[in-house]
Structure 1
Amino acid sequence: MSSTSNNIKFNRRAFLRTSSLASGGLLIGFNLFTACRPEAKPPVNLADLNYSDFNAFIKIAKNGAVTIFSPNPEIGQGVKTSMPMIIAEELDLPWNMVYVEQGHLDTKNYTRQVAGGSQSIRFGWDALRQTGATAKQMLINAAADKWGVDASEIKASEGIITNAAGETLGYGDVVEEAAKLEVPENVALKDPKDYKIIGTDQVNVDIDKIITGQPLFGLDYKVDGMVYASVLRPPAFGQELVSFDASAAKEVLGVIDVIEIGEKAKSLLSKEEINWTAQLSGTGKVVVIAKNTWAALEGKKALKAEWKEASPLESTDFHDKKLNELLDGKEFATLRKDGDVEKAFSQADKVLERTYESPFLPHNCMEPMNFFANITDDEIHLAGPIQTPEDAAITVAELLGRDVTDIKVEMTRMGGGFGRRLYGDFVYEVAEIADKIRKPVKMISSREDDMTTGVYRPAIKYRIKAAIKDGQLTGYQLKEAAINGNMYGLIPNFFPAGAVENYQVDVANYTSNITTGAWRAPYTNFLAYAEQSFFDELAEEMDADKIQLRLDLLEKVKGTTDERIQYSPERLQGVIKMAVDKSGWGSAPEGTYQGFVAYYCHNTHVAEVADVQIQNGLPVVKKVTCVVDCGIVVNRTGAINQVEGGVVDGIGHSMYGNYAFNKGVPEASNYDKYRLIRMKEAPVVETYFIENELSPTGLGEPTLPPAGGAVANALKAATGKRVYKQPFMLDKEIWKVTEKPVLG
């Protein structure tokens, strides 16, 4: 959708306002995702209103100051800054006059208060603009009434309203009058050429609090009388609690009590409508309640517990065997089938087949899982870092047998999420604890708790097969075998779908008791490396130019009437051509080897070129040139941060990330055995955006998936050998390494 559309029409009930502010002013709100429920009623008086009753809204005070409430969870992706920027642009305010506050969960009027899928700006774009433009028009209309002139004779800019005679009023001067007017249904939106805030560089609105250590995160959350809880969970996936001895734990100074939880979860698991079996564990867990964090964690260390095997204790070699059996078997679900791949393979001059492997991966958020709960007969108060607050509230209501309207959820800033905080297991634990002790309590986790009892990226293998006939690609088949499935399965309508006449995508999975789920850029984080590595090797087999092969295949998709195709061949060609130009592709200095990747995911088109050198026998990624087509860039500083972070994260996990299980027990519990990329290893990332006026798409995830493929292709250029398994640094045929982590 073009950003210049001026006739977006919204349900007037979606536009919320109240005129009787205690401070004097106008409170205006708009449903971010045009999903306002039909029964939602505009509030009448702020005195009867808690801010959590809104999704997104504007507060304009008499002095002209404006507060914009950000409704979506802030996970580090910058929506707490960029969403208000969009409103402020259309409201026509100087950014330095805007204050931003985090909104709370509102399950009564709105939907999709979610941080996930890089979709917040994409879904909110039109409604956020309409919010600001509508508020601005109401202020103009109020000024017109005050001056006795037609609203068409008035302009508003930089928070000042001006009439034809040159008289001026500030927004705060007419805010009370504006509150009494009808809400206009159709307002004009700005042309992108007139933007003053969108497209500029703005610092994170929380930056001062972050660098000065002011409370923002879940671990900072505190109320009077609060106690702390540390949870002892099964040490191996597949085990259940038999008994425990709490005597030594109770002797730890500061420990208040030791309790057991799990019964409520066990009863809830039988309900088919609750789809949280991987996270809502019904096994017994032992909880230490203490006066402080230290006592809670030390008390847990002193616990003695006996566990039994309730389901098979699986190991990584077992998973490896199962995935191979799946790839070699015939039990696949076909997600897309064009033409006849078997016929294409049988008639081919050449058939290229390769298998790619990836391990489980933990999320390792900087802030370990934690959450607060206080439960009384009247209210369930929850607070903390969660990507899916509404889902958490619904499940807690089911868990405790309460009405969801009893639940209040405050969202704190998150110290990382990457998909881990989509799952509310830690919320359900603290809710059950709080319900049992009836005290305000915060569940806290250590790094070891977080890493060994988490939700992991599933181990996956891809087998890709291509048919070559008369120098052309005539068949393409992609098979996926995954532990527990790959979240949503493969995306069958991404490139090269539509570019190959005979094309098929098949999936199969093995069900494990190891909890798996979304990990940053679900389903594409490993797939992009596999497919793009394969395309480079395919070009070699076809004796074709690697860049031209991709461009030629995209040419075949242009003008397609296949509505299943999700990517734009023109936009993907655009990022490819710019990446080739900006990276100096093919003209790298001696000793520097380049690898190329182009990929589409999360509605965004990306091309990356990695420059790699071999130093002391090991690879060093020196630079990555990254070209992104994400439509209009709202906050350039925030956007560049997301691009660079995604690239570095993608390189680090592709090269070093490795996680294994031995009889259900994770083999790494902290960073001494789990390798992350080091600061000194982060490459220079040169970022370029395709300039256009198309509506924004995702940025939190799309640059991560291509990064591994770009490095893998550069490694091939440097060593003459291809890597088919992540992490790359454990490939003994290329590098002189052992099974131990390469610490560097």
Structure 2
Amino acid sequence: MQTSSNPGRRNFLRIAAITGGGLLLGFNWSDADASSSALLDVVGTAAPSVDFNSYLSINPQGIITILSPNPEVGQGIKTAFPIIVAEELDADWTKVVVEQAPLDTKKFERQVAGGSGSIPHSWQRLRKAGATARQMLLEAASKRWNVPLAECTTDKGFVLHTATNRKLSYGELATEAAKLPVPTEVKLKDQKDFKQIGSTVKNVDNPKIITGKPLFGLDFYREGMLFAMLQRPAFGYKLKSFNTAAVKAMPGIVDVVTFDNNIAIVGKSTWQVRKAKDALKIEWEKAGDLESTADHNRLFKELLDSKEATVRRKDGDVDSAFKSATKVVTAEYQCPFLPHSPLEPMNFFAHVRPDGVELVGPTQTPELARNETAKLLNISPDKVTVELTRMGGGFGRRLKADYVVEAVQVSKLVNAPVKVIWTREDDMTGGSYRPAVRYRFEAALDAQGNMIGYKLRGASINAGNSTREDNFPSGAVDNLLIDSVDHKSPITTGPWRAPITNFLAFAEQSFFDEVAQAAGKDPVQFRLELLDKAKQKPVGAIKYDIDRMKSVIQLAVEKSGWGKKKNVAQGFSVYFSHRSYVAQVGEVVMQKGKPVLQKVYSAADCGVVVNQSGAQQQVRGCVVDGIGHAMYGNITFKEGVPEQKNFNEYRLIRLNEIPEVEVHFVENGIDPTGLGEPSLPPAGGAVANAIFKATGKRLRSQPFVQEEVFKGVS
């Protein structure tokens, strides 16, 4: 494959490695991925394609173009969606080109990347799209050959008539097939006949990512566009004044505008705009409460003791259960605010014209971006187009459209196409954090060690309901009370990968281990007994699948050799979220008096696995994300101002701290459920429980690295 002479991300990596004398990464430019680029060259000179439906088209040369409508945030959806279509189409994957579809609410439903819901929502739709085109191709061949339809079959982009040893490519049949009536009903494949679903397929964007081709929002460039950066107020402040004239006079600066307490500097290059932003001298004034982390710590105690909590679920007579208990176990767990920390900070392009608005950039919710733009400008949503770029991470931050609206506002004010770019400091201090929460758990045990009572209160800062009241162990305990109380803060919060459950799972699973210890039972057996009780004598509604949860527990126990290893401390955790079930076992050893996480076993039940490569990486990524933030992540505030502004102050997990992650999937044949988030929640609990086994110390507050057991670890 011929490489470009223009310096890009690939060349930068090579040059940086040579000049810095550090890690040298090499790539094999002649591997199988090269065929993708060759295919794209073919498509460019091919005859026009004919459309079969919203998802796919085929040209006379047999090149199949499959549109992926949902945003690609690193979850692999741009590869997984086409695999499903191609499977039912019986396509030759080497002749498939994947393109990112723009926002189109008439052709597609739920163009959203969030809640691990893309595959579950579109599974049947995508299969039917591929199967419909395949049926039309079969009918076209049947008519051309004048043979019964039942005698025709398909394989790797061809229609076959075995009896006469004839075959036609999809390309040869495409034009006449597309003219046939669209069948109202089609037969989908049996899972036993799947060839591509469940196989290992490379991410379709890999060649472009490796060679530095423009894919991401930060890569987008339009001739003549301007660049803008904003200075936003801290929480509880408003803009009073700033040195407008001095900043406007700086080189390359086109304009300086203000709106909604924000200062926007607009210029001809990112460097000139950044220099001007650094030169700002701003006077802020108080506009509300100026909250600090110390205030939140005091608030948590008040909230946990409050009589104003909202009851989320109540089963049985909790008071009587605790009065009659032989033993009561109580513990509190706390997590801090966290930023999302995507590799690519927020950015977006907007061009507000008299006849409409063009939007281009990375968003998890393109329809929201369109609607918020239309609302702001008081125009019809039909006047707004949204083109999606690949995202360099999102984790829930890009579910919001605030940064999109900023670009629209600036474009309108300066009457020009504008790309708004956030700096890393903007990204870390700009709000929409994971909410801070403290939980109080109480468990009542009888003389046999059975849990006869259970209480959970979630006290949160801007989380709303910080519980998942119908998750396990609800339905397995005769007497149960789950409630929550929330403090409304000027510090803005939003969804963070596996919202609420990302911390709640750690707290619950750690507490279950504490209760199991008090009951004198193995932690795994303790959970299995509760699940058996929920199965045999359910209390109230059961809104999780008991058998699926037990199956991942059993798989994790088997693969990890639970309880059979010497000189290794094992910790267990299991959780249900986003329709899927994941059990994990963390393994910790002591080195130089400190606990070191060596390995995590992860057993997942997400139904049918579409792409083994993508699924494996999703699980591993979730585990690393969950462990890293539980161990190190922490944003604190002083009078409304975030104290951590960049990665020199905010700790992320490092490469040498990432353990081996062994992934296993339950094969049950059910339709796919979520996978982009469910493996994150149990990670913290598995690690914390393993560390307790190794050290005898319970970890109840995140980040773990601040606990005594890690004293001296940087």
Question: Do these two structures clear the TM 0.5 threshold for a shared fold by scoring above it?
Answer: yes
* Residue aligning to 1:731: 707
* Residue aligning to 1:266: none
Give 3-state SS (helix, strand or coil) of 2:604's partner.
strand
> How far off its partner does 1:25 sit?
3.7
* Residue aligning to 2:210: 211
**Is 1:698 matched with 2:674?**
yes
Q: What is the alpha-carbon distance in structure 2 between the residues aligned to residue 395 and residue 107 of structure 1? A: 15
Q: Which of residues 262, 269, 277 is equivalent to 1:300?
A: 277
Distance 1:389 1:563, change over 3 A: farther
**Is 1:357 matched with 2:334?**
yes
* Residue aligning to 2:442: 465
* Residue aligning to 1:15: none
CA contact (8 A) 1:249 1:301 kept: no
Distance 1:563 1:690, change over 3 A: farther
* Residue aligning to 1:129: 127
Give 3-state SS (helix, strand or coil) of 1:230's partner.
strand
Displacement over 4 Å in runs of 4+: 559-564
Q: Which of residues 64, 67, 70 is equivalent to 1:69?
A: 67
> How far off its partner does 1:559 sit?
6.2
* Residue aligning to 2:259: 261
**Is 1:483 matched with 2:458?**
no
> How far off its partner does 1:178 sit?
1.3
**Is 1:616 matched with 2:592?**
yes
Q: What is the alpha-carbon distance in structure 2 between the residues aligned to residue 642 and residue 720 of structure 1? A: 32
Give 3-state SS (helix, strand or coil) of 2:501's partner.
coil
> How far off its partner does 1:555 sit?
1.1
* Residue aligning to 1:11: none
> How far off its partner does 1:248 sit?
2.6
Give 3-state SS (helix, strand or coil) of 1:460's partner.
strand
> How far off its partner does 1:730 sit?
0.4
Q: Which of residues 392, 407, 429 is equivalent to 2:406?
A: 429
* Residue aligning to 1:57: 55
**Is 1:336 matched with 2:323?**
no
Q: Which of residues 616, 620, 625 is equivalent to 1:640?
A: 616
Q: Which of residues 368, 375, 393 is equivalent to 2:352?
A: 375
Q: Deviations over 1:454-504 (max 9, x none)?
A: 210010011111111232111111110110125x64221111111111122
Matches within 5 A, 1:397-546: 397-471=374-448, 472-486=450-464, 489-546=466-523
Distance 1:655 1:561, change over 3 A: closer
* Residue aligning to 1:586: 563
> How far off its partner does 1:24 sit?
4.1
CA contact (8 A) 1:485 1:508 kept: no
Q: Which of residues 600, 606, 614 is equivalent to 1:630?
A: 606
User: Unaligned stretches of 5+ in structure 2?
Assistant: 1-45
Q: Which amino acid aligns with 2:613?
A: T
Q: Which amino acid aligns with 1:220?
A: D
Q: Which amino acid aligns with 1:402?
A: I
**Is 1:28 matched with 2:46?**
no
* Residue aligning to 1:271: none
CA contact (8 A) 2:476 2:538 kept: no
Q: Which amino acid aligns with 2:649?
A: K
CA contact (8 A) 1:617 1:735 kept: no
Q: What is the alpha-carbon distance in structure 2 between the residues aligned to residue 252 and residue 618 of structure 1? A: 53
CA contact (8 A) 1:26 1:178 kept: no
Give 3-state SS (helix, strand or coil) of 2:300's partner.
helix
Q: What is the alpha-carbon distance in structure 1 between the residues aligned to residue 426 and residue 247 of structure 2? A: 17
CA contact (8 A) 2:351 2:416 kept: yes
> How far off its partner does 1:635 sit?
0.4
* Residue aligning to 1:680: 656
**Is 1:150 matched with 2:148?**
yes
> How far off its partner does 1:564 sit?
4.3
Q: What is the alpha-carbon distance in structure 2 between the residues aligned to residue 338 and residue 61 of structure 1? A: 61
Q: What is the alpha-carbon distance in structure 2 between the residues aligned to residue 132 and residue 439 of structure 1? A: 42
> How far off its partner does 1:425 sit?
0.8
> How far off its partner does 1:109 sit?
4.3
Q: Deviations over 1:647-672 (max 9, x none)?
A: 01111111111110000010100111
Q: Deviations over 1:172-211 (max 9, x none)?
A: 1111111121111111111111111001111110001101
* Residue aligning to 1:106: 104
Give 3-state SS (helix, strand or coil) of 1:96's partner.
helix
Q: Which amino acid aligns with 2:62?
A: G
> How far off its partner does 1:529 sit?
0.6
CA contact (8 A) 2:255 2:414 kept: no
Q: Deviations over 1:676-707 (max 9, x none)?
A: 00011000001111112111111111111111
Report the aligned-residue RMSD. Answer: 1.5
CA contact (8 A) 1:24 1:176 kept: no
Q: What is the alpha-carbon distance in structure 2 between the residues aligned to residue 696 and residue 408 of structure 1? A: 31
CA contact (8 A) 2:608 2:667 kept: yes
Give 3-state SS (helix, strand or coil) of 2:133's partner.
helix
Q: Which of residues 574, 588, 599 is equivalent to 1:598?
A: 574
* Residue aligning to 2:168: 169
* Residue aligning to 1:49: none
Q: Which of residues 88, 93, 96 is equivalent to 1:95?
A: 93
Q: What is the alpha-carbon distance in structure 2 between the residues aligned to residue 644 and residue 210 of structure 1? A: 20
> How far off its partner does 1:558 sit?
2.3
Q: Deviations over 1:277-323 (max 9, x none)?
A: xxxxxxx2111111001111111111222111000110001011112
Q: Deviations over 1:62-83 (max 9, x none)?
A: 1111000000000000000001
Q: Which amino acid aligns with 2:710?
A: W
* Residue aligning to 1:348: 325
CA contact (8 A) 1:466 1:477 kept: yes
Q: Which amino acid aligns with 2:334?
A: E
> How far off its partner does 1:614 sit?
2.2
Give 3-state SS (helix, strand or coil) of 2:476's partner.
coil
Q: What is the alpha-carbon distance in structure 2 between the residues aligned to residue 511 and residue 28 of structure 1? A: 51
Q: Which amino acid aligns with 1:91?
A: L
Q: What is the alpha-carbon distance in structure 1 between the residues aligned to residue 610 and residue 536 of structure 2? A: 30
Q: Which amino acid aligns with 2:598?
A: K
> How far off its partner does 1:347 sit?
1.6
Q: Deviations over 1:537-584 (max 9, x none)?
A: 101111112111111111122267889433211111111111111112
CA contact (8 A) 2:595 2:695 kept: no
* Residue aligning to 2:229: 230
> How far off its partner does 1:145 sit?
1.4
Q: Which amino acid aligns with 1:72?
A: N
* Residue aligning to 1:221: 220
Q: What is the alpha-carbon distance in structure 1 between the residues aligned to residue 201 and residue 540 of structure 2? A: 38
CA contact (8 A) 2:47 2:61 kept: no
Give 3-state SS (helix, strand or coil) of 1:248's partner.
helix
Q: Which moved more, 1:661-670 or 1:723-732?
A: 723-732
Q: Which amino acid aligns with 1:645?
A: G
* Residue aligning to 2:631: 655
Distance 1:82 1:560, change over 3 A: farther
Q: What is the alpha-carbon distance in structure 2 between the residues aligned to residue 93 and residue 531 of structure 1? A: 46
* Residue aligning to 1:267: none
**Is 1:116 matched with 2:92?**
no
> How far off its partner does 1:599 sit?
1.1
More helix as a share of residues: 2
The share of aligned pairs that are identical, in percent, is: 51
Q: Which amino acid aligns with 2:516?
A: A
The count of residues paired between Structure 1 and Structure 2 equals 668
Give 3-state SS (helix, strand or coil) of 1:525's partner.
helix
Give 3-state SS (helix, strand or coil) of 1:556's partner.
helix
TM-score by length of 2: 0.92
> How far off its partner does 1:165 sit?
1.8
User: Unaligned stretches of 5+ in structure 1?
Assistant: 1-21, 30-55, 263-283
Q: What is the alpha-carbon distance in structure 1 between the residues aligned to residue 542 and residue 148 of structure 2? A: 49
TM-score by length of 1: 0.88
